[in-house]
Structure 1
Amino acid sequence: MRINKKVVSFGLIALTTATLAACGKQSDSNTVSKKQVLNWSEITQLSTQDPSLATDTTSFQALLNTGDGLYRLDKNNKPQLSLATKAKTSNQGKTYDFYLRKNAKWSNGDPLTAKDFVYSYKRTVNPATKSQMSFYLYQIKNAQAISKGQKSPDTLGVSAPSKYHLRIQLTRPLPYFKILLSWPLFFPQNQKVVQKYGKLYGTQAKYTVSSGPFTLTRWNGNNKTWTLIKNKNYWDAKNVKLNKVNEQVSESTTTSYNLFEAGKADETGLTGEQVAANKNKAGYHARLSSAIKRLELNENKVSAFKNLKVRQAFSLAINRKQLTNNVLKDGSIPAKGFVPSGMGNNPKTGTPFEDDAYVKSAVSYNLAKAKQLLREGYKESKTNSIKITLLVSDDDTSKQTAEFLQSKLDQLPGVQISVQTIPYTQLISRQTAGNYQATIKNWQAVFGDPINFLDVFQKGSSYLNNGWNNNQFNKLLNESENVYGNQPVKRWARLVEAEKVLMKDQGTIPLVQVAKPQLLKTTVKGVSFNPTGVPYDFKNVRIG
């Protein structure tokens, strides 16, 4: 990937300046604190800054920091009113009326009004936009029909009765709606700016506009460094302490760790032996997230994967404990299913979802049984070998995981795995297009409810491109949301059963629940980690 040398040079100058100042007298250290510059590491590049088109965590994190919503999560990850000053619900929880603050502006000086939310939501559900995330808006009246091209976007249940009054009509009460509204997909969009830039919107920093604490600069769409600058037009700018966040992509934690040790970065992710060497140090944070890393087999590209026994054989050949304990060594834990921990508890018994829905055989290791099932699967699918390419990102963790899977799956009779690593932005594009035979995918929760994972595999989901489909699974999900949405016990039972169907039919192969261990300078204050959404909001971060 081509790097913008000017951007890299600027980042290194800024980092070096901060480092030299930090090595000086106490008064110099105070000077650095007053500058309020944070130097942050990312493992993947930005893929887009169009809120309707973003799908990856890095892009959403930038959108969170350059945008604002009706709600914003506080340090305890609880939604608090932000662009709205007052909210009312009526119609048995299906109608929301928000009253916006009148001092909110876009970074270009435009007033921020209710129409910006109406435009944003209509644009996201409009099939012409091709948003993969539009299904998150389906609980808004007519959203699903609009997304399927059955109704006009103008029929969406979102309106602006007045300049600073926004009304949202839902199809049913949604207990986690406030959390959704604090996620960048539900942030406003400036219609004038979007239409001005057209297809260029969100592809480079200069084709963006901000409603939040920071503005994006020095991103040309491909480079591995970018900068967030404090947005002087932000309504709450007085409470934003950081003046600048320099971000640099390091696919290898070796690089980011060396920068951290040299004083050129304030934060680094950790892998393997780095965790063991630093877990007792001040500034170490374990950070178990609600993300699942999984192996996806594409039935549309490899006909043998249509056979259940073949899919089961691939899963049984993988020793997840070896992967977490001997390869990753970063605090990640073996997955108990597709839905990770932290997604809720049984309303009657209090049992965590991952325990209620546990299908041991779907995530166990048994090489002998795997070989037996594969031979039976070969016979049923009239083949005797599987030679495929495993497509993964070029970051350290993905490569280590791929090499481990290759070594395990190659033990199966007639199976030959080759690994192809590509930049993350290219991987996202190919996965979205279903252009892979097998790949490693990550799914990160947006809110703590099992549906946030299970609806990925529901028929019609924009993320369902591996060819798997199960009518019973679809029926259970439909009942959980549209029949028993207001009956927690019955809803829970259907979600549990849906997860069991997905696992027994091996619709996907869960590997690990992802940990994101981090080493953070103790001078960096106010950092809160969100395990079930966008990880880091820099609004309340300060230096010193």
Structure 2
Amino acid sequence: MKLSKFSLLLTLGLLLSMLMAACSNDSGGETKDEPKKEAEGSEDVEQVFNLTSSDIIPTMDSSLATDLLAFQALSGTTEGLYRLGKDGEIVEGIATEHKVSEDALTWTFTLREDAVWSNGDPVTAHDFVYAWRRAVDPKTGSEYGPYMMGGVLKNATAVNEGKKDVDQLGVKADGDYTLVVTLEKPIPYFESLTTFGTYYPLNQKFVEEQGDAYATSSDALLSNGPFKLTDWKSTSDSWTLVKNEDYWDADAVTLQKINYDVVKDPQVGVDLYEKGKLDRTDLTSELVDVYAANDDYEVTLGTGVYFLKFNQTKSEALANKNIRKALSQAFNKQALVDEILNDGSIVAKGFVPKNFVKMPESGKDFREASGDLSTYDAESAKELWKRGMQELGKDKVELEFLSSDSETSKEMGEFIANQLEQNLEGLDITLKQVPFEQRLALDSDMDYQIQFSSWFPDYLDPYTFLNLWVTDGGNNKMGYSNPEYDELLAKTANELALKPVERYDAFLQAEKILFEDAAIAPVYQSATAQLVSPKMEGVINNSFGALYEYKWASVAK
């Protein structure tokens, strides 16, 4: 998922042992309930969280969402077949159970009959059929529809390419409360995909009545999840989630309200926290030094990876492998995480993050098994740069460096640009720092040269990271192509889908190719240093999808 982070586990018995425990099997099974937490009385304390967002919500249209900010907001207001509970466990959502055919291609979901939209309409199987068709319909222009559903739902790619009608997509309603899904091939992580925002349902009548206004304001939205979005327009820098009393599991929801304000300056966030106006705020390097001894200080290592994208279509220099390798090795990543971030983030030496997935046979962490594939080496970078410049017949190269305009992003961009210019003779970097939403648009249009980007996993599988770089992939957006890499990724999704050991070996090979080509330059694996009020209880930190789950959260008495 962009910043992606846009899910969890393998359903089939052979693969369950690779990851964590989910709740189904290949012959049909049930997903067990999250233990219900009684909504404690709010008469003793106001059940309100006051939080920040790093930027505005780019969209509330689940078919068009591509980033963490959008998926975080959507996860609070909308519910799919399942949702994520504590420790990444998949728990009941609109579906109460499902069965899987012997060939793992047909999934039949039983939906609850007590779920309603915030306008009173029942949530039915037809809402999922409409939403999934809409996500892959080329007329919609969804980026995540073809990315998350292509090669997963039967005919999704053909529909998106205009080769088949949308009614040929592998999803149908068998009555109002049974959803039948046909997959293109066995998908080890399909159950987890059903928790993801792109797979959320939509009320067709409401969406079509709203037309172009749909999802541009609170009045043009419906909710079927724990909360409803209020006081929001597409340009709003503040908004509120209020408890949805019509939610089927409203008794488990204690929070009455979550207030959000866009705060880009971390110092402003700290000032508001100290005044009691915020319940959680992120800390930058200099603020960590001040607050590390504070009782409210917390550090959490995440699974997001930040990296440099090299657009090979917008620069002759970036089309040169030696130039890309030089750029990858020419900046001190350890200094960046120590001096600029100082928040527990660690240097990224590959693309699949540490503490994400384990090898199926040895149990070794994937990152450890794959090794250090990209490291800081100024002397090697200089030699590679010299070689690349000779191949180009140049003694000077100008490159534009795109990043977001948050304070931390600006600092990191300046640090990396300075290091590159110091270590690579003849290089001139121009910084282009823009709002987050604009950066996403420039990325989609491939209108950049070097971009400081990030990816957060959408499900618990290496494929969520490595699939980004297949030729002409929906998130590639940098002109990278390697047939051997494509072939390995295709194998992991097809003939190796039910062979976990061989599948993970193919992932290891693919990641090595990615860095032999210097397609991207990993920078760091994210961690979050924060001040967190002890009043916040029951907040779940997800390892993929939306960063936080608030359904079972509450204000401590």
When normalised by structure 2's length, the TM-score is 0.89
The letter of the residue matching 2:303 is S
Label 1:185 to 1:342 Cα distance change in 2 as closer, same or farther (>3 A).
farther
Residue 329 of structure 1 pairs with residue 329 of structure 2: no
- State the shift of 1:202 in Å: 1.8
The letter of the residue matching 2:456 is Q
Structure 1 distance, partners of 2:194, 2:449, is 36
Structure 1 distance, partners of 2:404, 2:273, is 23
Secondary structure of 1:515's aligned partner:
strand
Whether contact under 8 Å (1:359, 1:504) holds in the other structure is no
Show the counterpart of 1:106: 117
Q: 2:236 aligns with which of 202, 223, 236?
A: 223
Q: 1:53 aligns with which of 42, 52, 64?
A: 64
Q: 1:71 aligns with which of 82, 92, 117?
A: 82
Residue 510 of structure 1 pairs with residue 522 of structure 2: yes
Show the counterpart of 1:290: 303
Whether contact under 8 Å (1:288, 1:531) holds in the other structure is no
1:469-527 deviation per Cα after TM superposition (whole angstroms, max 9, x unaligned): 11111011001111111111111111111111001101111100011222211011111
Show the counterpart of 1:23: none
Structure 2 distance, partners of 1:409, 1:182, is 41
Q: 1:429 aligns with which of 441, 449, 455?
A: 441
Residue 128 of structure 1 pairs with residue 139 of structure 2: yes
Residue 453 of structure 1 pairs with residue 465 of structure 2: yes
Whether contact under 8 Å (2:101, 2:107) holds in the other structure is yes
Structure 1 distance, partners of 2:408, 2:441, is 20
Structure 2 distance, partners of 1:393, 1:61, is 19
Show the counterpart of 1:239: 252
Greater helix share, structure number: 1
Show the counterpart of 1:188: 201
- Structure 1 runs (4+) greater than 6 angstroms displaced: none
- State the shift of 1:342 in Å: 3.0
Show the counterpart of 1:438: 450
Structure 1 distance, partners of 2:179, 2:93, is 14
Structure 1 distance, partners of 2:536, 2:382, is 52
- State the shift of 1:234 in Å: 1.0
Show the counterpart of 2:175: 162
Structure 1 distance, partners of 2:489, 2:540, is 33
Show the counterpart of 1:377: 388
1:315-334 deviation per Cα after TM superposition (whole angstroms, max 9, x unaligned): 11011111111221111100
1:158-190 deviation per Cα after TM superposition (whole angstroms, max 9, x unaligned): 010111111111123323222211111111011
Whether contact under 8 Å (2:187, 2:493) holds in the other structure is no
The letter of the residue matching 1:221 is S
> Please, which moves more after superposition, 54-63 or 281-290?
281-290
1:378-422 deviation per Cα after TM superposition (whole angstroms, max 9, x unaligned): 121232222122111111221111011111011111111121221
Show the counterpart of 1:348: 361
The letter of the residue matching 1:345 is K
Whether contact under 8 Å (2:284, 2:340) holds in the other structure is no
Secondary structure of 2:338's aligned partner:
helix
Structure 1 distance, partners of 2:352, 2:362, is 18
Show the counterpart of 2:325: 312
- State the shift of 1:447 in Å: 1.6
Residue 172 of structure 1 pairs with residue 185 of structure 2: yes
Structure 2 distance, partners of 1:171, 1:279, is 50
Residue 148 of structure 1 pairs with residue 161 of structure 2: yes
> Please, which moves more after superposition, 58-67 or 211-220?
211-220
Q: 2:127 aligns with which of 105, 116, 119?
A: 116
1:40-69 deviation per Cα after TM superposition (whole angstroms, max 9, x unaligned): 111122100011111110110000000011
Q: Which runs of 5+ in 2 are unaligned?
A: 1-40
Structure 2 distance, partners of 1:426, 1:38, is 29
- State the shift of 1:31 in Å: 7.8
Percent sequence identity over matched residues? 36
- State the shift of 1:532 in Å: 2.3
Structure 2 distance, partners of 1:480, 1:51, is 28
Show the counterpart of 2:476: 464
Whether contact under 8 Å (2:138, 2:161) holds in the other structure is yes
Show the counterpart of 1:533: 545
Q: Which runs of 5+ in 1 are unaligned?
A: 1-29
Structure 2 distance, partners of 1:356, 1:95, is 34
Structure 2 distance, partners of 1:288, 1:260, is 22
Structure 2 distance, partners of 1:437, 1:32, is 55
- State the shift of 1:32 in Å: 8.1
Residue 254 of structure 1 pairs with residue 241 of structure 2: no
Instruction: Tell me which of the two structures has the higher relative contact order, counting C-alpha pairs closer than 8 angstroms and 6 or more residues apart.
Output: 2
- State the shift of 1:359 in Å: 4.5
The letter of the residue matching 2:173 is A
The letter of the residue matching 2:285 is G
Whether contact under 8 Å (2:305, 2:353) holds in the other structure is yes
Whether contact under 8 Å (1:213, 1:236) holds in the other structure is yes
Structure 1 distance, partners of 2:445, 2:207, is 25
Residue 499 of structure 1 pairs with residue 511 of structure 2: yes
Structure 1 distance, partners of 2:283, 2:473, is 33
Residue 488 of structure 1 pairs with residue 500 of structure 2: yes
Whether contact under 8 Å (2:404, 2:434) holds in the other structure is yes
Structure 1 distance, partners of 2:83, 2:319, is 43
- State the shift of 1:432 in Å: 1.3
The letter of the residue matching 1:355 is E
